[in-house]
Structure 1
Amino acid sequence: MEKSEFERVIEQLPIGACIINQDMTITFANPTFLGGLTIRQPDLVGQPLLTVFEEQARFLKRKIDSVFILKNPSFSYWQQRPHVFPMRSSRPITGDESQMYQNVQFMPLSNENAEVTHVSIFVTDVTAEASYFIQQSDLKNALEDEHQQLKALHQELKVAQKKMLQSEKMASIGQLAAGVAHEINNPIGFVSSNLETLKDYALKLIKTTQTQKKIIVKQAEDRFIKLLEDVYERQGVDFIIEDLPELLDESLDGAERVKKIVNSLRDFALSDEESWMEVDLCAEIESTLIVLKNELKYKVQIEKQFPAEPVFLWGKASKIRQLLFNTILNSLQAMVSGGTLTIECKQEQDKIKLIIEDTGAGIAESDLERIFDPFFTTKEVGQGTGLGLSEVYTITEEHEASVDVLSKVGEGSRFVFVFNTPKSS
């Protein structure tokens, strides 16, 4: 194929294509690439890529640098970053224009010495596929909403009827959840520990490597220094040193998320068959604070106001622990920048009063009536399920107790529980 014919094929491709040199300057852009842009640029050739597409400059630079250094292709899929370049897409049936969903490929172009001199960028319009996927996701979300509504109706029915059969089912599920939590907890502990150790090793190796390079640069002959720099460049050592800690941090974050899921399974597995007994409230508070030690460390000051004698209430110990855990954790999460957590328990005649007060962000008055609703949360997506305080309310009702909440935005919240004593129960 002659060069002119090859260029004509490239220009007629329905895929956007452009070529970048080592200075990040655009040396070629086909009509599909130019025509799809929403910005007014009559000719991109000769212009710096990172200036033309300033909003995506950091992402583009990282991708292109990785191709030049590692000499391997790199990809960006629409699910991760839907709109790399500001381009429009025309629907084939309706003709409506919308922002283009893109799959982008970054491919190395090498010379006869196998040196990467340019990077070609190919932009594929996947708007139709993405739209279909989004519609399916919306449908799934709608079905999920219906499922949640049915689940809420089921919950109301469960409260109104005898719970014998349901308790048996939940006990079986609880045993399964406890087994799964146990099986997962041990290996994920090894993974987290090994990742922490691996990160420590990696940082030490990086520091050692950098120190060795400095010593060689100062002491060695020029030919050895040049040889070392050549090895660093061919192996992409500088890029690896920069990227490795970030990869390990992401892995540790993933392991931590698994731990949280395992803890949720463990909490779910609490037995409904537990006997009622005298529960030492102050001792349970101390135990809960130990469990939440990492949340408290260097962050929150604790003020405890306990009587000299033990304070006993009538209840299920594991449920009281869960109530304390959820309420105290909610207060700690409200004090992002630190603060004071005050916990008071005392006996007043035949009642036990528990007060948990924080100096956190507080709760808006419009949200106070909803904080005990299942799935209601004011936290960011992925930071909370909205089930913690709902479970607190359920446990309070089960113990024929009461809970009142006072809160003011910017000043904090105060939870007041009133339980029965063993004698009154």
Structure 2
Amino acid sequence: MRKAELEHVLVQLPIAVCIIDEARTIVFANAAFSGGLTLRQADLTGRLLDDVFPQQIRFLKRKINSVFALKNPSFSYWQQRPHVFPMSSSRPITGDESEMYQNVQFIPLLDSADEVSHLCMVISDVTAEASYFLQQSELKAALEEEHQQLQKLHAELKQAQQQMLQSEKMASIGQLAAGVAHEINNPVGFVRSNLETMQDYTAKLINVMDRQQKIIQKQAEPRFIALLSDLYERLGVAYIQSDLPDLIKESLEGTERVRSIVKSLRDFATYDDEGWVALDLAAVIRSALALLENEIKYKAKVQLELPEQNALIWAKAASIRQLLFNVILNALQAMQPMGLLQIRCTLQQDSIELIIQDNGCGMDNETLSRIFDPFFTTKAVGQGTGLGLAEVYNIVQEHEATMQVDSEPGTGTRFRFCFKAYRG
């Protein structure tokens, strides 16, 4: 093909073409190239590329120099550099003119000695494809964000459902607990009354027997005394006299424990009718630690962090004290002697955060999922009723607070409470 024919073809091509020599002088630019430029030029032939595109020349020089040096084509993809040349594009979808997204090919042109004498730049308009890709990317990002929001919403709904089920369970158990407490309290009351009467009777009978034995020793015949002593020995009367008061005492202690359990059931079922007050949570924490000092001093070191100003919440004082007692005592029982108990109260913008953390034995996930169930306990028989944390749950719900429990076996447990700050 003759040079004139080749130039005629290049001029007619709808793709922008520009040819430069090694000095970066433009030797040819077809109509698609010249006409597409947003900076209007009468004639580009004979002008330096550096002068025509001063803002783009730094990037162009790197590409051009590599082609002349390596004799290999180079390529600029629109995602790496969307707009190499200042050209406008007519988008076929909307018809609106916009800045052209371009793919640019840098092609070496060889002379008869197989040396690169010129370089041809071919600019392809990929605005439609790029716009479609960008729209798809934006849509994907929007869908991803929506998916994350749905996941978050699903998690919140699941948590709300669990809280609702727990609340319903607490309400049912509370009604049952109130009934059970009432039914147990009556028989325990008269059993304890009878035991106290028996304790008094036993003391009197033992006293009578002691005096009777002294009288017999002085007045009776030796043969009668021997027969009576033999009878006492065979029946173990001396052991009965020493053991009977202890048996009655232990029975009374047992009834006292039953009464304590009944009281816990009542507290679990219904709280005090005391009024709601603006309560300084930091002051209640100090008070609780003072009351529990004897429990704490041989069991743990306390690391306390409280705000200098009042940490006011709208609350029932007795309920908050009970919450603190239950969680702190649980922490003490979970730790080896002289463990670390950390209590931190901090003021947030609209809330007050309370963290109670121990370095005790911790809990696995199965145990953690059941700690608020009434009567569930990991303590030895007789050491816990399993109502303490169920009570804590009810108190948190009553005060419209939130609670989060984190635990890991061998590491410890952290209770995090968040109460609404009282503004007056």
State the TM-score, normalizing by the size of structure 2: 0.43
Whichever of the two has the greater Rg, that structure is 2
Q: State the TM-score, normalized to the length of structure 1.
A: 0.43
